[in-house]
Structure 1
C-alpha cells in the first residue's frame, strides 16, 4: 500500500539477520512507518541516497532498504544492465526499532503456481552460447538466471513468514515499499561492515540434500571436493579479493576460510570468507562502488559477464541479485545478496533462479541445480497445505513387528528434517502397547508422529498379499518426484492419490519423473528385470527410500540403475516391493500392452 495509506502501528519492515561480525545471536527487529523514504530512480541519484543513508545512521537512525541489480550502472558505466523496473535504490528511515512480532494473525498463504519463463531448449541454447564465450576467452564464468512468475492473491507478510520458515537463518527481510513488497530469505552475505573491518562471504557451489544422513554427508563431501565446484568458488573469491582491495588498507585483504559447506533445508551451499580492513575515509557509497554487484551473481570478469547477462536474459533482474540490508545507528551495515527473494507487485509475484556456468558445466546438471534451488518455494507452500503427520506402515504378524528398527530409524530422520521432537522411548512404548492388544494375526500398523512429536499407532486387519498384481503406467509425469513429501513418508499424499490406478483390476500405478525416469509406485517401490539383472531406480530419480527396497539392495537381490520409460519394452519382469507386503511379482495391466 502507498505510505499515506498505511494503517497506524502496522509493521512495514522486518529484519532477521545473522551477525557475522557481531556478538552472536541475530538482529531480529520490526519497523513501522518510516519517518522518511529515500529513493533513487536514476543512476545519478544512487550515490546521494547512500550518502544520506550513512549520514542518518550516524545520527542514530535505522535505515533499511535495497538496491536493484540495475543500480550497478551508478558505480561503473561499463556495467551493462537492462532498464530498471522500479526504484534503483529505496531505503526507509526509522527513528526507532520495534520488537519482532511474536505472532501474526495473517492467514496461511495461498499456494503459488510458479512458472519458469524459459524452456529447456532455450536453456540449452544459452548454455552453448556461454560455453562459446568461455572458449573464446571472453570470460571465465557467467552467472545465468531466469525468472519464475506466479499470480499472487494474499497477504504478503504471511507469505514472508512461510518463506522464512522454509529457508531459516541467513538474512531475512520483509520490506513493504508501497508500490512493491520484497520478501528476501537469502542465505548469502554480501558484506558486513563494522568499524574498519569488512567481511564478504560469496556463495558458490550447490548440491542437493540427501535422503539419508549417509547420503547427505556424501553429497556435502562431494561438493567440497569436486573440481568444478571448487573452481567456480575460487574464481569468485579472486574477483572479490580484487574488488575489496579498492577500499582496503594495503596488504589487509585475506581469505580466512575457503570451501566451507553450509546446510540449508533443501541444498548444500559452499561459501568462502574474504575480509579486509577498510581505508580511512571510505564511505558506504565507496564500498558499494567497489563491490556491487556481488561477483557471485555476475561471473568473471565482471564487465564481460554483465554484458553477456544483458544479452541472454530478456528482463531486468530487479532486487534479485542486488542488495538488501540494514544500516544501524552508528553505521554498522549488513547487506545480503538477495538470491532467495520474492518480489510482489499487485497480483504478480516473481522470483529469480540461476547458477554459475563454467567451462565444464553440463546443461543437465545446471538444470537440476536450478530445481534444487527453487525447492525453498515449494517448501514454503507446505505452510498453506493441511497439517500432516509423519507416517510409517509396518506389518505386525503374530505379535512381531517386521523391520521395526529400520522403520523407526527412518521416522527419526524425517522428524529431524521437519524439525519435530523425537523421543525413541515414547515411540517404542506406543508400539509395545499396540502389540499387546494385537498379539495374534496379521495386521497393518500405521505409526504416526504429529507436529508436537506425539506418537500414536493404529492397527487394521490385513490379508495375505496376492501372488501377482497388475500395474498401470502413469499417463503423465509425477511432478512431485523430488518433493520432500516424496522423499519422506507423511500423511500428505494428495500427489500420490492423484495418480492412483484408474483402470479396473490395477493394483498400483508405476510413476515416472519429468525426465522420463521410472521412480516408484504410489504405495511401494519397483523392481525391474532388465538385461538379465534385477534393478530398482536410485533415490536421485525422486522416490521414497523404502525399507523393503533397502533390505534387498543390502542382500544383493537388487542393484540401483536408472530405467527410463523408453526402456520398458525391454523389461523382462516386474515386482512391487515394500516392507508391508514383501515382494510381489507384477505385470503391466493388459490395457497397456
Structure 2
C-alpha cells in the first residue's frame, strides 16, 4: 500500500444535497493507516480503528463488501479484489467543510473506452436464474450488479467534483489510498450513530424524474404509493430491523419513517427510516457484525441471497456495496452505502464503476439492463454549470406578472435543487422598482448556491397586449408601422426528454446556435423529434386557426412562458399539438413573451422554411 498523495486531502466526506444530510468534513493530520488485506485481518483492523478513536483520534475510510464473511461467519465467504477489505486513515483533526460547487480551475479528467463485464445475453440468463430461485422460495429479491471498466486521463479530483455536481448526493467521498482513488457520490445512508442512537435509511424503489414540476411531483407521489415499490422496500426494512435488533436495547427498534421519498437530479428514491438505541457495550465492530452489508445491496433473506449473488457475479464488488464513512470520539459515526462509486487504479490509468438493481419476479431483463447502463452515465457527463433565469418587464406602475415569474423560478429552483431566498429577491426587486424610471427589462440570474445577479436594460416600445379572441382580430395586418421581418425554422430538432427545455436557464447552446445561423431573422422557431411545433428561441407561439387561438402543448417540449400561462389561465388560448403546416395555414400567428407582449406575424410562403414577422426586438419570456 503506497502513501497517499498530498495534492488533495487523503479523505474528504462531503454533502452536496440541500436537505437530506448536511455534514461535510475534511480530515487532516494523518497519523497512520489501518489496512486489512485478508479475512483474518478484518476484525483486528476494525478494533484498532475503534481503539484509536477512544484515544481522541478520528478514523475515516471504508469496508469492502467482501469483508462480510469475516465479520459474520454465517455469510458466504467471497474472494476479495485488488482493494483492501478494510482501509482507515487515522487523523488528529476533523474540520467542518463547505463543498466546492465548481470544478477545479484548469483541471480535467476524460473517461473513455467504457466496457461492461456482462453483456445483455448473460444478464438475461442471470435474471432467469434469479427468477427460478424466487419461484423456489429461496429468495424474495436479489440485488444483482455488473461492472463497467474504463480508462481515464487527467486529474481524478476533477472527476470526483464532476460526479458530486452531477449527482448532488448527500454522501460524497474522496479517498486516496496511494495506489487507488475512491470516488463516491452515494445517496444512501448505511447508518449514523450519535449519543447511542443509531439511524439507518435503506433505499429501495426508484422512479425517473419528469421535466415539468407538476408531472415530477405526480411521479414522486406515484412512487410513494406504488404497491410494488412498497413491497420491495418493506422486505428490506424487515431485514434491517432484524439485523438491528441484535445490538439494540430491547423494544427500542422503531420505524419512524416508512416509504419516504427523496429527490435527486435524475431520480426519485424511496427510503425508510429505522432507528434504535444500541446497547452501551456495542462497539464499531459489533455494529458492523450485525448490520454489514446493508440489506438494500444484498436482498432478502441475506445469507441465501448473497450465495446467489456470489454464483452469478463474475468479479468482486470491492468497496462497491460496502461502506464508506468515519468514526469520531464520543461514539459518533456516519457511514454510507457505497453505491454510485468509482475506483481508479492510478498505476494503470484504469477505473471501474459498478451498477445494479433489485431483481424481483416481475423484473423485465432488457429494461433492467438498460437501467443499469444508464445509471453509470453520470460518470462521463460534463458538469452542468448553469444558472436559472427570469426576465421581467418593469413599468412605472410595477413589474408585469411578477408573481407568476417568482412562482416559475421557485418551481425550477426546487426541481434542480438550487437554493433560493425569495425574501431577499423581492427586496432587491423592490429597490429596482423604486429607483428605475421608465420601461426596463430586468434579468434575474440564480446560481445553485443561491447567489443572485440582477441586471437591468432600458427598453423602448409599448407592451403589446393580445387580442381577446380570433373574432376581434383586425383583418390583414399587424401593429401600425410595423416592418415585416423573417422568422426561420431551426434545422436542429429539440428532444422532448431534455429537462432543460422546460426550465429557463443559461444552457441555451442550441437556441443561440440557430439564431447565429439566421442573423437576418427576428427569431427562430423549433420543432421536436416528432416534427411538432414547440417555441421560438425567445418566445412562445400562438396561432389563430379554425376560429381558435392555439399554442403548442407543453408535452411537445418547450418553456412554460409566463405570458403563455396567463393567456391559458384566462381562457384566451388553448393548448394543441401543432405542426409547421398549421403555422402556414393559420389566419395569423404571434410570438409572445412577458417582456415585449404579443407580436403579430404574417405567414408568407418561402419554400416552407421561413415565416415573416413584423417586429425586430425580442426577449425570451
Does structure 2 conserve the Cα–Cα contact (< 8 Å) formed by 1:203 and 1:271?
yes
Tell me the residue number matched to 1:43: 39
- 1:471 partnered with 2:489: yes
CA distance in structure 2 between the partners assigned to 1:558 and 1:252 by the alignment: 57
Alpha-carbon deviation of 1:354? 4.0
> How do residues 218-297 of structure 1 correspond to structure 2 at under 5 angstroms?
218-248=218-248, 251-264=251-264, 267-278=267-278, 282-297=282-297
Q: 1:98 to 1:284 in 2, by over 3 A?
A: closer
Alpha-carbon deviation of 1:188? 1.8
Q: What secondary structure is seen at the aligned counterpart in 2 of 1:34?
A: strand
Q: What secondary structure is seen at the aligned counterpart in 2 of 1:447?
A: strand
Does structure 1 conserve the Cα–Cα contact (< 8 Å) formed by 2:62 and 2:319?
yes
Tell me the residue number matched to 2:503: 488
Q: What secondary structure is seen at the aligned counterpart in 2 of 1:411?
A: helix
> How do residues 367-446 of structure 1 correspond to structure 2 at under 5 angstroms?
381-382=383-384, 385=385, 389-393=387-391, 403-414=401-412, 417-421=417-421, 422-427=424-429, 430=432, 436-438=437-439, 445=441
CA distance in structure 1 between the partners assigned to 2:122 and 2:541 by the alignment: 32
CA distance in structure 2 between the partners assigned to 1:366 and 1:588 by the alignment: 49
Q: 1:97 aligns with which of 93, 96, 104?
A: 93
Does structure 2 conserve the Cα–Cα contact (< 8 Å) formed by 1:547 and 1:578?
no
Tell me the residue number matched to 2:618: none
Q: 1:427 to 1:492 in 2, by over 3 A?
A: farther
CA distance in structure 2 between the partners assigned to 1:589 and 1:42 by the alignment: 76
CA distance in structure 1 between the partners assigned to 2:483 and 2:322 by the alignment: 58
- 1:88 partnered with 2:105: no
Alpha-carbon deviation of 1:296? 1.1
Does structure 2 conserve the Cα–Cα contact (< 8 Å) formed by 1:140 and 1:301?
yes
Alpha-carbon deviation of 1:12? 1.9
CA distance in structure 1 between the partners assigned to 2:411 and 2:158 by the alignment: 28
> How do residues 358-369 of structure 1 correspond to structure 2 at under 5 angstroms?
358-360=360-362
Q: What secondary structure is seen at the aligned counterpart in 1 of 2:499?
A: coil
CA distance in structure 1 between the partners assigned to 2:129 and 2:252 by the alignment: 35
Tell me the residue number matched to 1:56: 52
Q: 1:17 to 1:481 in 2, by over 3 A?
A: closer
Tell me the residue number matched to 1:356: 358
Q: 1:220 to 1:120 in 2, by over 3 A?
A: farther
Q: 1:169 to 1:108 in 2, by over 3 A?
A: farther
Q: What secondary structure is seen at the aligned counterpart in 1 of 2:269?
A: strand
Q: 1:525 to 1:103 in 2, by over 3 A?
A: closer
Q: 1:17 to 1:460 in 2, by over 3 A?
A: closer
CA distance in structure 2 between the partners assigned to 1:502 and 1:456 by the alignment: 27
Q: 1:124 to 1:182 in 2, by over 3 A?
A: closer
Residues 216-269 of structure 1: CA distance to partner in whole angstroms, max 9, x if unpaired?
544443332222221221111012123333444555433232122334455443
Tell me the residue number matched to 1:21: none
Alpha-carbon deviation of 1:192? 2.6
Q: 1:301 to 1:214 in 2, by over 3 A?
A: same
Q: 1:399 to 1:283 in 2, by over 3 A?
A: closer
Q: Which runs of 5+ in 1 are unaligned?
A: 19-23
CA distance in structure 2 between the partners assigned to 1:65 and 1:277 by the alignment: 24
Alpha-carbon deviation of 1:337? 0.7
Q: TM-score, normalised by structure 1?
A: 0.74
Tell me the residue number matched to 1:66: 62
Residues 60-119 of structure 1: CA distance to partner in whole angstroms, max 9, x if unpaired?
33211102223334345754767524222211122x114346698953653756887569
Does structure 2 conserve the Cα–Cα contact (< 8 Å) formed by 1:467 and 1:585?
no
Does structure 2 conserve the Cα–Cα contact (< 8 Å) formed by 1:150 and 1:350?
yes
Tell me the residue number matched to 1:453: 452
CA distance in structure 2 between the partners assigned to 1:222 and 1:146 by the alignment: 28
Does structure 1 conserve the Cα–Cα contact (< 8 Å) formed by 2:139 and 2:304?
yes
Alpha-carbon deviation of 1:328? 1.8
Tell me the residue number matched to 2:139: 139
Alpha-carbon deviation of 1:469? 5.2
Q: Greater shift after overlay, 104-113 or 32-41?
A: 104-113
CA distance in structure 1 between the partners assigned to 2:590 and 2:373 by the alignment: 29
Tell me the residue number matched to 2:188: 188
Q: 1:588 to 1:78 in 2, by over 3 A?
A: farther
Q: 1:51 to 1:425 in 2, by over 3 A?
A: closer
Q: Greater shift after overlay, 360-369 or 276-285?
A: 360-369
CA distance in structure 1 between the partners assigned to 2:402 and 2:21 by the alignment: 40
Q: What secondary structure is seen at the aligned counterpart in 1 of 2:34?
A: strand
Does structure 1 conserve the Cα–Cα contact (< 8 Å) formed by 2:533 and 2:580?
no
- 1:14 partnered with 2:2: no
Alpha-carbon deviation of 1:283? 4.8
Q: Greater shift after overlay, 311-320 or 462-471?
A: 462-471
Does structure 1 conserve the Cα–Cα contact (< 8 Å) formed by 2:112 and 2:152?
no
> How do residues 296-375 of structure 1 correspond to structure 2 at under 5 angstroms?
296-309=296-309, 315-329=315-329, 331-346=331-346, 347-348=349-350, 350-360=352-362
Alpha-carbon deviation of 1:190? 0.8
CA distance in structure 1 between the partners assigned to 2:186 and 2:379 by the alignment: 12
- 1:544 partnered with 2:563: no
Tell me the residue number matched to 2:474: none
Alignment length (residue pairs): 565
Alpha-carbon deviation of 1:186? 2.6
- Larger CA Rg, structure 1 vs 2: 2
Q: 1:4 to 1:249 in 2, by over 3 A?
A: closer
